[in-house]
Amino acid sequence: MAGLIHKAVAVSAMAAMSLADNDKNQAERLVDALAQCQKIEAADQRLGCLDAAADAILKAREKREVVMIDRESVREAKRSLFGFSLPKIRLFGRGDGIEDAEPEVESIESTVTAVSRDRSTLSTFSLANGTQWRSTETMRVQPKAGDAIRIDAGILGSYRASVRGISAGKVKRIK
């Protein structure tokens, strides 16, 4: 009977959290429910609530409804996505006006591994980090395999490359 009461308290606490926080995502609601359990003074009720909250988190993780990611993985993902135009989604931040703990990537530095040019004098080049870029204008400095390159984010989604420390021209990421 005591077990049923514990489950009822836990389920009630989690249901109350869910109703009060419809604007939060599932992961936030699950963690909030866990935090609410800690506030329960009666040890047996607190334990029942914590067990139910932990079970809900584990089931959600098992179903891939929530995924845990550490800060270094967020940094690496942001670096790997640098140069792509993506919709504004709450992938790496809370999206609630609180500044993301990890700042946006503003530039990358790498080494050119391969270069090809077409008839229009535009270049396509691959970098050691696995990305591929294409010039959008004739570059003042043509990159060559082995060159150090830096690509900086510009305004309105533009990107500018510097080859061997010299500003070379605008580029866009293609792969």
The reply to whether 166 falls in a domain is: yes
The reply to whether 144 falls in a domain is: yes
The reply to whether 122 falls in a domain is: yes
- For residue 76, the model assigns a pLDDT of 80
Residues 56 and 111 in one domain: no
Taking only the tens place, the pLDDT of each residue in 31-64 is: 899 899 999 999 999 999 999 999 998 998 888 8
Residue 169 domain boundaries: 107-173
- For residue 18, the model assigns a pLDDT of 43
Residue 105: pLDDT band with limits 50, 70, 90: confident
The reply to whether 100 falls in a domain is: no
Residue 148 belongs to domain with CATH number: 2.40.50
- For residue 69, the model assigns a pLDDT of 80
- For residue 87, the model assigns a pLDDT of 54
The reply to whether 22 falls in a domain is: yes
| Domain C-terminal end among 44, 62, 80 | 62
Alpha helices in 66-175 (DSSP H): 71-81
> What domain count does the chain have?
2
Q: Which residues neighbour 170 within 8 Å (Cβ) at sequence distance 6 or greater?
A: 135, 136, 137, 154, 158, 159, 160, 161
Two structure tokens written together for 91: 């992938």
**Looking at the predicted structure, is the pLDDT value of residue 4 above 50?**
no
The reply to whether 68 falls in a domain is: no
- For residue 61, the model assigns a pLDDT of 86
CA distance linking residue 7 with residue 165, whole number of Å: 64
- For residue 163, the model assigns a pLDDT of 92
Residue 96: pLDDT band with limits 50, 70, 90: very low
The reply to whether 130 falls in a domain is: yes
Question: Model pTM?
Answer: 0.52
Least-confidence region, from 70-79, 88-97, 119-128:
88-97
Alpha helices in the chain (DSSP H): 2-20, 26-38, 43-62, 71-81
**Looking at the predicted structure, is the pLDDT value of residue 6 above 90?**
no
Name which residue leads in pLDDT, 126 or 3: 126
Least-confidence region, from 23-27, 83-87, 159-163:
83-87
The reply to whether 99 falls in a domain is: no
Exposure class string for 88-97: b at 16+ Cβ within 10 A, else e? eeeebbeeee
